[in-house]
Structures are given as C-alpha cells and as structure tokens.
Structure 1
Amino acid sequence: MTTRRTFLTGLAAACAASALPAGVLRATGSTGARVLTVTDVHVSDYPTVQAVRWIGEQMERETGGRVRMRLYHSGQLGRESEAIDMARFGAIDMTRVYSGALNNAFPLTQVLSLPYVFDSVAHLRRALDGEVGATVLRGFAKRDLVGLAIYDSGARCFYNVRHPIVTPADLHGLKFRVPASDIFMQMIRLFGGNPTPLAYGEVFSALQTHLIDGAENNLRSFHSSRQFEAAHYWSQTEHSYAPDVLLISRRSFDSLQPGDRALLLDIARRSVAVMRQAWDESEAASKAALVQAGVRMNDCDLDAFRAAVAPLLAQYRRDPAIEALYRNVRSLA
C-alpha cells in the first residue's frame, strides 16, 4: 500500500534523479494516460471523496482513458496544510481542502469562514453558485492554484467531552481544537475558550487524552472521524458554514490539453450536485447514528453567540474586498 512517506520519498528521489518537475514525472501512466494524483483527508465514503471519484470516472470516460485520476483518501499523503503546498509546487496535482485552512494564504476565502455570515445551507449554496463562489475561485490564481469547485459542508458546531454548551459562557476555560486559521482562533477567544490549533487527524487522540476538551466541525465529519466516541456532547451553534474547496496545481492544469482543461472545469462544476446529494443523504444518516450512539444534542442561544463575535465580523469587514463579498452574501439571505 502506498503511504505518505513512500510516496514523498519516491517522488523526491525521482525528481533528484531526473531533475524534472514532479508534475512531469507523473504525467503519464504505463498506458500513456495522464494520471492526476488527488488527495483528501476524509474517508472513502465521505461526500467530497465520492464527488472527486465521480470526476475521475467522468474524465476517464470522456477522454477515452487519456486522462485519469488516482485518489488518495483518508489522509494517506498527509495533512491538508501539506497538501496545499504540495499542490502549489506540483508535487501532487489536486486536493480537496477545508476553506478554514486556506484563510491566511487566500484572503478571499475568509468571507466563507467568518461567523454568522450565512443563515442556512440553502443560503450558502445560493452564494456559492453565484458570483461570490466565482470570485473566491478566481482568487486562487494568485498563488499557483486553480479553483475547480466549492463543496459546502453543512453547519459547523461545537462538541466536547465536558458538558452541553448553550451560551458562550459554557466555553470559558475549555481548550478547543481549531484549524490553522486566525479567524477561528479569534472566534474561540471571543467565546471565552482557549484555541488549540491541531491537524484534523490528531483530534481524536487529543480528545481521548484530554489534550483538548472539544472541537468544532460539521456533523458528518464528527461522525465519520468517530470523534463522537470520545466527545459525547454536541451543541448546535452553527457558528460557521465554512465549505471545502477542490484545487488543482496551476502547473498540472496548464500541462493538460486545452480541451481537457475545459472538460475538467466543466465536470468539476457538475460534481457539486453529486457532492450535495451525497452530503444531504449521509448527514441525515449520521445524525440518526449519533443519536443511537448516545450523543447528547442541544440547541443554543444563537443571539448570544452572534453578539460575542460581532467585533470579529466588523474587523474583517473593514477590508473592501471582504465587505463587497459580504454584502453580496447578505443580499441573498
């Protein structure tokens, strides 16, 4: 089985031996097909993984096998932060990453992650399907990436090992895992908690050992990661609807034939519907499974949470680009 270590070790050795870019080394398979390497930290049946797998099937069918995709799910090739850099420099071709991990390097993604910008999944989808989503995708071009699609991933909420969270006061003194995003670290502080940046794959053990008291994520990830086995309290704060983004290396994209580039863009856009259908079905199933497993779920005082993070939202809205996107989003509410 290919692991992250063997993949990167082999890739480095091949680059050193040939003095060629990684994207060129992996440009063709044994049959002469162009093979695109794709990564995702989520498990095989996760909706984003299903959508990317569908893209690969469509590309192979439409090109008669000339363009194929090799998908590494479940974090086989490392963390999301590593995948972003590997894609930028052409060590891998494509990756699906959470937008919160992109906030610092790609400022336009910040509007998608800020607290209480979106009112619902339907509201988020209207924004992503329009000019807001298109603007964010265009922003990746500044740093050697091409934005292919944005996959929404439900409401992010808090879960923890201690007690139900109803108001921000219930977070006081607790350590919560956050992605490496200034927005999420500031948000936890304003709620009164202690932000602890950790990679997604480290959360389960951190909950078990009480390195952290809780985390925040969507319901589907909470279930598929089995973090509910350590954290038995789920609180419906809906503080962010930060989605996922599918990216391809600019180098890899430009190496495709013009017709194949256009085809990939079209199929990636169409994969959003595939992902959403899988998401809606699996989220409902996950909720039922969590209730069956004994997870305690509670509603929250959303007005209190909105008030606590109002200064954070005001701070980011001082950026004209963020303000323009924010106004566009709110006009669709």
Structure 2
Amino acid sequence: MLKKVISISMLMIGILSFSGCSNKTEGNTYIDMIENKNTSVKTLFLAESQAPEYPTTKGDYEFARLVKEKTDGRINIQVVTNSELGSEKDTIAQTRMGAIDFTRVSATPLSNYSKIMTVLSLPYLYRDEDHLWAVLSSDIGQRAFNDIEKVGLVGLTYYDSGARSFYNNKKEIKSVADLSGLRIRVQESDLMKSLVTSLGATPTAMDPAAVIQALAVGQIDGAENNVATYVSSSQYNVAKYYTFDEHSRVPDILVASKTVLEGLSKEDQEIIKQAAIESSDFQRKEWKANEDTMYKKMEDAGVKITKLDQAAKEEFKTAVKPVYDKFGADFTDLIKQIEATK
C-alpha cells in the first residue's frame, strides 16, 4: 500500500507541476487518492480523458457501479474525468507502473506497445460496425489483449468509439482528389500521418483542445474524428463539411494494471472482468443514442453531410495501400483473417 501511495504522490506532483498548480488540479481528487480512510472499502481509480457526460465515460461509470454492486461495496472505483490524471499516453504509462488502477484509452496509443493494436487501427479495414464487433469478439480481439499483457496491461473489454471521418471548412469531399492540399489535423500517430499523406493531404499533429481555434483562424483546413467529438467540441460550427468516409473504426479499450489486478483475490479479479464486459453492452447503447443526437444537431446546424457509396470507399482504400505496406507488412495473415471474419 505504501508503494502505491508513493507512486500516486509522485504522479500528483508531476501533474501539478505540469499544470502550473491550477486551482482545478489542486482539488479533492488527489487528496482522495492518498487519504482512503475507510479501510473496509478498497478504492481504485479509473483515468478518463473525456467529460462526465460523454458516452464512453458513462461506460466507465457503469463499470464502477457494477463492481461496487457485485462486491457489496467492498471495491469502490472512482472515475477521474477530463484528463485530470494526464493524457492517454501518460495514463497508460502510469497504469503499467500500478500508480493508476484502470484507464480507458483508444487503441491508437496502445500501438506503442503492441503491433497488433496497430493492425486493428488500419484504415478502411472493417466493412461496417457489425464487422468490427465480430472481429473484436473473436480470438483476434483476445490476441490483442494477450499482446498488451506482456507490458503490464490487462485488456478488460472494448468500448465503441464510432467511425472517424474527415471534415473541413473549405469544400465538400466526394473523392480522394478533393482532399489534395488540405491541411488536416491528426493525432500524434505515425499511422494517422501516413493515412492523410497517402490521400494527398498534409497532416498536422495537434492537441485536441487546440483544433477548434486552429480551424477558426485557418491554421488547418480540417480534421478527422467521430461525430460525437465533432459536435460536442463545437467544431461543427467552424467546419461545415463532413464526409462519412469512415476511414477508421479504432476501438476504445478499458485497461487494468496487471500489478493491481494480481493483488486482488481471484474472485474479485473475475468480478472486475465480468463487470467490464457487462459495461461494454451498456456503453455501446449509450454511444448509439448519442450518435443519433449528434447527427440531428449536425443537420440542424446546416452541415453539408456527404455519404460515400461503396465505389468511392474502394477508391479511398486503394489510395491508402502504402499504409498497409508500411504498418501491416508483418501481419498479412492477420489482416486476411480480419477481412474474412463474418
């Protein structure tokens, strides 16, 4: 326990230093992390980058509720939202150390630890949403979990994060040629940079919080993301062209620290794993309901919504062959297995 408190204290100091000791960061979250005075209740912490009302965060809360219910209150999971414990990259590192107990992250930053996670993130890999979930629920999804466990992370379940598509403030995008020359914001990811480059646009890595201002002042022409983020971040007010090319269906993953999990009883480990799986069903329903709401807001705001037919999507997939050559060359059999999954 002392080791855990020291690790969390070091994390707190690092975050306070990074944030300039803002009033928000000096709140009760970190005090609670250190001062767990009720010894009959084990408090664990789950790091979440999204806001409390985001559908993914609602999945976290459901996971926490189920664990508390199934353990008769012996285990209390506190969800810490809005990246208060750091970026996804940071929380992954801290979860590996055991300083954070759980984190919900995209598969993209996990690619730094697992090439299989990179394969799951390849563009235009999945035919549709049903195909994605068929793959993740197969032995392929478990194989990816087995891969990250080698570095101290236990994959508990997959969450829905929708499909990422392109949007911009210049023109309607109906073909690959329409992307030519546009400056597109991407995540700090070599794969995403390669994707945008292969489509003839210029990738610009940028923190998510800076995107709306960059669009407004013309620093970038567009970006790519799911409709939930596009609308909830108000980017739909400054980038009025949204094309459903659905180039990426990158799953979110609820991850536990292997060190922390192995410190629990076998019974509690199983409870946590089962609660995570059950929370995934809940989260996916929340995601779908939120997506429908966001789509309606796009229509009401006058966004030009473009849906590509299958022929246009094939053109895009053909254009990103260099991405497969670079990131999937060692996994051709796995890619074929994914494509063949029904």
In the alignment, is residue 252 of structure 1 matched against residue 256 of structure 2? no
In the alignment, is residue 303 of structure 1 matched against residue 304 of structure 2? no
Instruction: Tell me, in whole angstroms, the C-alpha distance in 1 between the residues paired with 2:51 and 2:70.
Output: 26
Compared CA separation, residues 111 and 162, structure 1 to 2 (3 A): same
Moved over 4 A (4+): 4-7, 10-13, 25-28
Instruction: Tell me, in whole angstroms, the C-alpha distance in 1 between the residues paired with 2:74 and 2:16.
Output: 26
Aligned to 1:197: 205
1:116-169 deviation digits (Å, cap 9, x = unpaired): 110100110111111111111111112111111111322210011221111122
Matches within 5 A, 1:1-333: 8-9=12-13, 26=33, 29-32=36-39, 33-300=41-308, 301-319=312-330, 322-333=331-342
Q: One-letter code of the match for 2:36? A: G
Compared CA separation, residues 171 and 5, structure 1 to 2 (3 A): farther
1:206 shift after superposition? 2.5
Instruction: Tell me, in whole angstroms, the C-alpha distance in 1 between the residues paired with 2:263 and 2:217.
Output: 46
**TM-score, normalising length from structure 2?**
0.86
Q: One-letter code of the match for 1:312? A: V
Q: One-letter code of the match for 1:238? A: E
1:2-54 deviation digits (Å, cap 9, x = unpaired): xx9997228899xxxxxxxxxxx958822122211112222212221111101
Instruction: Tell me, in whole angstroms, the C-alpha distance in 2 between the residues paired with 1:11 and 1:225.
Output: 24
Q: One-letter code of the match for 1:226? A: S
1:328 shift after superposition? 2.1
Q: One-letter code of the match for 1:9? A: I
Compared CA separation, residues 330 and 94, structure 1 to 2 (3 A): same
Instruction: Tell me, in whole angstroms, the C-alpha distance in 1 between the residues paired with 2:59 and 2:35.
Output: 23
Q: Contact between 2:9 and 2:34, CA under 8 Å: does it hold in 1?
A: no
Instruction: Tell me, in whole angstroms, the C-alpha distance in 2 between the residues paired with 1:267 and 1:105.
Output: 25
**TM-score, normalising length from structure 1?**
0.88
Q: Contact between 1:90 and 1:252, CA under 8 Å: does it hold in 2?
A: yes
Q: One-letter code of the match for 2:335? A: Y
What secondary structure does 1:207 align onto?
Answer: helix
1:107 shift after superposition? 1.0
Instruction: Tell me, in whole angstroms, the C-alpha distance in 2 between the residues paired with 1:152 and 1:254.
Output: 27
What secondary structure does 2:198 align onto?
Answer: helix
Instruction: Tell me, in whole angstroms, the C-alpha distance in 2 between the residues paired with 1:212 and 1:105.
Output: 30
What secondary structure does 1:75 align onto?
Answer: coil
1:221 shift after superposition? 1.7
Instruction: Tell me, in whole angstroms, the C-alpha distance in 1 between the residues paired with 2:194 and 2:38.
Output: 50
Q: Contact between 1:28 and 1:34, CA under 8 Å: does it hold in 2?
A: no
Q: One-letter code of the match for 2:13? A: T
Instruction: Tell me, in whole angstroms, the C-alpha distance in 2 between the residues paired with 1:5 and 1:233.
Output: 46
1:105 shift after superposition? 2.6
1:193 shift after superposition? 1.1
Q: One-letter code of the match for 2:129? A: V
Compared CA separation, residues 97 and 202, structure 1 to 2 (3 A): farther
Aligned to 2:3: none
Unaligned runs of 5+ in 1: 14-24
Instruction: Tell me, in whole angstroms, the C-alpha distance in 1 between the residues paired with 2:296 and 2:16.
Output: 45
1:263 shift after superposition? 0.9
- Shifted more, 198-207 versus 40-49: the winner is 198-207
Unaligned runs of 5+ in 2: 1-7, 18-31
- Shifted more, 131-140 versus 40-49: the winner is 40-49
Aligned to 1:20: none
Paired residues, what number?
Answer: 317
